[in-house]
């Protein structure tokens, strides 16, 4: 009897050691979090800045002693600004037993990741994709969108532009011919009409172009020939810079009294420098030396740590997006006391955490971030980097966000005006 | 309608001449070496970056701008010599598939070098002050820089025509292009002519980079859009034919401009229709060069 008990104990111990070796290793090593950003191709200038923010967040957590007594390790992958590549990267990371992922730095990659997350049993933080389907028809409980959606973002931008420039009575949009471009121009125009003081302004038909176009002379000629004095530009990245290069030479800067742009922000400012349009309003994630960011302790620490890590004293606003998304998952792990998918999801649903722009949380119904959205006014400057942010305004997302409708496609016509 | 027609014409010519500035070097090197250089756009991109580094974002005058473009052309010409010695010379007697693969690899290498030196941030170069404004012609806004590009394209075409048709250098190059063995037997230094042709092609790529850099944002991918049109122009015009490429560039420019103005909801589709029609109607191009297949 005693011999049997001893043998059983040996067998049990052997099974425990053998079967749970991986589990035990996983519990004692670093917490591995996937970080899939666009690190090559046309999305790289934005993706690399977001990754920098995520790296700073990991550095800050590790400097403070890690999470659950363990270090955080980022497993970085390049999604190449490509939907199928983002899916391949997620599958590869899942195969490597990584269940927590930061990805979807753009809508194109988020649309690939979102439906995959439940199958891979991953908790995925969508870093910066604003496309409506992510928290509507593609919603599932494994994904959280750590940025404002298109409707909130661009209706708030339209509201900002008309409130700051009420004298402009005719507006027009130039947008890429696709879902995002059509939506953002529509939301912008509707908000301009809704929030204009006094008589309703005229919003002209949107002028469309291709998202990756390099020649905008035809569209610029249409804009120059129009009655509009206010403009929304829905094209991003290098295309937007090419547009400004070509538009400036034909006098578009003199014709338009205000321009709102999709969110290039300092990327356009850095490229255009002294030739930055003088009343350019952008979706703004972060300006470290402008209020309200300058006095925010999270912002100050992010700036200091970014300079220490990268040796660059002029961080892009996109750094804050990568930092915010990473903090969501790190604080989720801390609150859950676990790295397992379900407890982390439960914890993030009930989380409130500090960012460079103040406290944020996720709406439990559709996992949409509820935050304060900021809009910055840019103009050229005589000093390096030859552009400056002259004003920052904010709108609370609670004032502009659409009602949660997980699983259902968004339709602006269904909103009460 | 009149102002639209005027605009389509000007814009089409401007686009066409921009395509030709890039396509000239591509068709030149194919005409002489029968190598389709997939890295041509990458060397155009390097020319643009070199212009930016030498001349900055706001050229002081049009002469400074032209001088900087010539510096970029010379620098890319030196890179062309090195490329010839290290890569292209080894490909002259092998199947053309190897040349395609090698020049594709070269393109990736150049993009990697550009990222390592200049990073992935975007830069913007403005036109020189003399051409940094617009004129209004029949209600259409025409940038003077656009007219400058048209002038540069026409001047380059005229120069290449004179060189190829009326000078000894051009005749020697045509002789080597048509029959290198026979050219060798009459005392022409064929390897030297081939090397100079490669260098000239790269000089043209660098010059195009320097002249067109105010046209769009500077990034490691800046060559992609131009070189796509350049390849189309070379195919439509006839591989190796400078005249054919010139005409094809004008055709592509005007068709694209008309597409953007009158059929904007079908953006970019017309040039592919044009390419398909041209391949059916003239599979060897408008002016097939001798020896081209």
Residue B132 has pLDDT above 60, yes or no: yes
Residue A3 has pLDDT above 80, yes or no: no
A233 touches chain B (CB under 8 A): no
User: Pairing relation of β-strands B140-143 and A31-37?
Assistant: unpaired
Which of B120, B146, B212, B230 should one mutate to test binding to chain A, selecting the residue with the greatest count of A CBs within 10 A? B120
- Tokens representing A311? 């040796």
Question: What's the CA gap between A52 and A170, in Å, rounded?
Answer: 40
CB atoms within 10 A of CB A63: 9
Same domain membership, residue A161 and residue A252:
yes
B118 touches chain A (CB under 8 A): no
The least confident of A275-284, A392-401, B7-16, B260-269 is B260-269
Average pLDDT, integer, range A112-123 = 95
- Which position has the higher pLDDT, B282 or A280? A280
Same domain membership, residue A266 and residue A393:
yes
Same domain membership, residue A408 and residue A273:
yes
- Tokens representing A65? 């002693």
Q: What pLDDT digit, counting tens, does each position of B81-126 carry?
A: 999 999 999 888 888 888 899 999 999 999 999 999 998 889 999 9
Mean pLDDT of chain B: 91
Mean pLDDT of chain A: 91
The least confident of A159-168, A397-406, B26-35, B149-158 is B26-35
The pLDDT value given to residue A19: 44
A215 touches chain B (CB under 8 A): yes
Q: What share of chain A in percent tops pLDDT 90?
A: 80
Average pLDDT, integer, range B177-194 = 92
Same domain membership, residue A138 and residue A155:
no
The pLDDT value given to residue B196: 94
Question: For residue A221, what are the contacts with CB-CB under 8 A and spacing of at least 6?
Answer: A250, B7, B11, B140, B141
Alpha helices in B34-167 (DSSP H): 40-55, 62-86, 96-118, 144-166
Q: What count of Cα atoms within 13 Å lies in the side-chain half-sphere of residue B150?
A: 16
The pLDDT value given to residue A4: 56
Strand (E) or helix (H) holding A74 = strand A72-78
**Do the chains contact at B217 and A245, CB–CB below 8 Å?**
yes
- Asked if residue B194 has a cis previous peptide bond (ω within 30° of 0), the answer is no
Same domain membership, residue A50 and residue A132:
yes
Average pLDDT, integer, range B16-21 = 95
Q: Is the dihedral of CA B5, B11, B14, B20 positive or negative?
A: negative
Average pLDDT, integer, range A303-330 = 95
Residue B159 has pLDDT above 90, yes or no: yes
Which CATH number characterizes residue A309's domain?
A: 3.40.50.2300
Which residues are registered as beta bridge partners of A284? A374
Q: What pLDDT digit, counting tens, does each position of B37-82 carry?
A: 999 999 999 999 999 999 999 999 999 999 999 999 999 999 999 9
DSSP B142: E
The pLDDT value given to residue A5: 52
Domain containing A97 equals 30-148+292-371
**Do the chains contact at A237 and B122, CB–CB below 8 Å?**
yes
Listing DSSP states for A364-386 in one string gives TTT-BEE-EEEEEEEEE-SSTTS
CB atoms within 10 A of CB A206: 19
Confidence of residue A41 (pLDDT cuts 50, 70, 90): confident
Whole-prediction pTM: 0.85
The pLDDT value given to residue A159: 97
Alpha helices in A167-236 (DSSP H): 179-195, 217-225
B141 touches chain A (CB under 8 A): yes
Among left, alpha and beta (phi > 0; psi -120 to 50; other), residue A358 is left
Tell me the CA distances in angstroms from B255 to A161, B9, B10, one per residue in order.
Answer: 37, 10, 12
The pLDDT value given to residue B1: 62
Same domain membership, residue A407 and residue A260:
yes
The pLDDT value given to residue A417: 53
Whether A122 is in a domain gets the answer yes
Total domains present in chain A? 2
The pLDDT value given to residue A107: 84
Average pLDDT, integer, range A65-72 = 96
The pLDDT value given to residue A6: 44
Same domain membership, residue A195 and residue A331:
no
Residue A198 has pLDDT above 80, yes or no: yes
* Cβ atoms of residues B33 and B194 within 8 Å: yes
Neighbour-count burial of A62, counting CB atoms closer than 10 A to its CB (0-12 exposed, 13-18 middle, 19+ buried): middle
* Cβ atoms of residues A141 and A367 within 8 Å: yes
Nearest Cβ partner for A218 among B121, B222, B260: B260
The least confident of A7-11, A86-90, B24-28, B116-120 is A7-11
Q: What share of chain A in percent tops pLDDT 70?
A: 93
Whether A394 is in a domain gets the answer yes
Q: What pLDDT digit, counting tens, does each position of B248-277 carry?
A: 999 999 999 998 888 877 777 888 999 999
Whether A307 is in a domain gets the answer yes
B137 touches chain A (CB under 8 A): no
Query: Which of the four CATH numbers 1.25.10, 1.20.950, 1.10.357, 1.10.3470 does domain B2-281 have?
Result: 1.10.3470
Grouping H, G, I as helix, E, B as strand and the rest as coil, residue A42 is: coil
Same domain membership, residue A135 and residue A160:
no
Here the ipTM equals 0.89
Same domain membership, residue A167 and residue A265:
yes
Distance from first CA to last CA of chain B, Å, rounded?
A: 43
What is the distance in angstroms between the Cα of A340 and the nearest Cα belonging to chain B? Answer: 37
Q: How far is CA B130 from the centre of its chain?
A: 24
Confidence of residue B223 (pLDDT cuts 50, 70, 90): confident
Same domain membership, residue A278 and residue A403:
yes
Q: Is the dihedral of CA B204, B209, B214, B215 positive or negative?
A: positive
């Amino acid at each position: 009897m005693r011999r049997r008990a001893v043998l059983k104990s040996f067998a049990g111990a052997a099974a425990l050691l053998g079967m749970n070796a991986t589990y035990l290793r996983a519990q004692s090593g670093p917490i591995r979090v996937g970080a899939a950003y666009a690190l090559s191709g046309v999305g790289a200038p934005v993706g690399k800045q977001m990754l920098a923010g995520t790296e700073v967040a990991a550095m800050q957590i590790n400097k403070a002693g890690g999470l659950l007594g363990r270090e955080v390790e980022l497993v970085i992958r390049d999604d190449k600004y490509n939907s199928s590549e983002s899916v391949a990267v997620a599958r590869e990371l899942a195969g490597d037993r990584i269940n927590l992922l930061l990805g979807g730095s753009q809508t194109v990659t988020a649309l690939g990741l979102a439906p995959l997350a439940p199958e891979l049993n991953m908790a995925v933080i969508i870093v910066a994709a604003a496309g409506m389907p992510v928290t509507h028809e593609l919603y599932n409980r494994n994904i959280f969108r750590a940025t404002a959606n298109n409707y909130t973002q661009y209706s708030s931008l339209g509201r900002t532009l008309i409130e700051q420039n009420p004298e402009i009575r005719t507006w027009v949009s130039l947008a890429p011919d696709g879902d995002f471009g059509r939506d953002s121009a529509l939301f912008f125009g509707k908000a301009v009409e809704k929030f204009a003081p006094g008589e309703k302004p005229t919003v002209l038909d949107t002028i469309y172009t291709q998202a990756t176009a390099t020649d905008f002379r035809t569209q610029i000629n249409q804009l120059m020939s129009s009655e509009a004095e206010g403009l929304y530009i829905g094209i991003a990245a290098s295309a937007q810079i090419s547009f400004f290069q070509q538009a400036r030479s034909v006098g578009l800067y003199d014709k338009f009294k205000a321009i709102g742009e999709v969110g290039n922000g300092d990327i356009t400012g850095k490229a255009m420098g002294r030739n930055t349009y003088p009343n350019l309003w952008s979706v703004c994630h972060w300006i470290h030396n402008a209020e309200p960011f300058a006095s925010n302790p999270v912002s100050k620490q992010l700036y200091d740590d970014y300079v220490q890590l990268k040796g660059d004293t002029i961080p892009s606003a996109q750094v804050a997006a990568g930092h915010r998304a990473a903090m969501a998952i790190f604080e989720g792990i801390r609150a859950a006391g676990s790295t397992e998918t379900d407890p982390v999801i439960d914890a993030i649903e009930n989380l409130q955490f500090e960012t460079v722009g103040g406290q944020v949380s996720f709406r439990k119904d559709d996992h949409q971030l509820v935050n304060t959205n900021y809009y910055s006014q840019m103009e050229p400057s005589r000093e390096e980097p030859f552009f400056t942010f002259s004003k920052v305004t904010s709108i609370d997302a609670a004032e502009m966000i659409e009602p949660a409708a997980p699983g259902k496609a968004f339709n602006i016509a269904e909103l009460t005006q | 309608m009149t102002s639209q027609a005027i605009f389509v014409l000007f814009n089409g010519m401007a686009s066409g001449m921009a395509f030709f500035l890039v396509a000239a070097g591509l068709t030149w090197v194919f005409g002489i070496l029968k190598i389709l250089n997939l890295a041509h756009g990458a060397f155009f991109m390097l020319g643009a970056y070199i212009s930016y580094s030498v001349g900055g974002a706001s050229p002081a005058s049009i002469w400074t701008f032209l001088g900087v473009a010539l510096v970029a052309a010379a620098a890319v010409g030196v890179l062309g010599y090195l490329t010839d010695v290290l890569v292209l010379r080894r490909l002259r007697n092998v199947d053309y598939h190897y040349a395609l693969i090698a020049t594709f690899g070269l393109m990736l290498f150049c993009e990697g070098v550009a990222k390592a030196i200049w990073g992935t941030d975007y830069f913007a170069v403005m036109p020189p002050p003399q051409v940094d404004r617009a004129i209004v012609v029949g209600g259409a806004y025409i940038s003077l820089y656009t007219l400058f590009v048209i002038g540069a394209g026409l001047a380059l075409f005229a120069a290449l025509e004179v060189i190829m048709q009326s000078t000894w250098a051009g005749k020697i190059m045509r002789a080597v292009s048509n029959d290198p063995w026979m050219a060798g037997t009459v005392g022409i230094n064929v390897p030297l002519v081939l090397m100079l042709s490669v260098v000239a092609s790269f000089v043209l790529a660098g010059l195009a980079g320097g002249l067109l850099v105010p046209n769009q944002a500077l990034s490691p991918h800046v060559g992609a859009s131009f070189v796509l049109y350049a390849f189309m122009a070379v195919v439509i015009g006839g591989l190796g034919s400078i005249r054919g490429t010139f005409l094809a560039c004008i055709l592509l420019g005007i068709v694209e401009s008309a597409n953007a103005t009158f059929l904007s909801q079908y953006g970019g589709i017309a040039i592919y229709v044009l390419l398909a029609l041209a391949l059916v109607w003239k599979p060897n191009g408008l002016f097939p060069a001798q020896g081209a297949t």
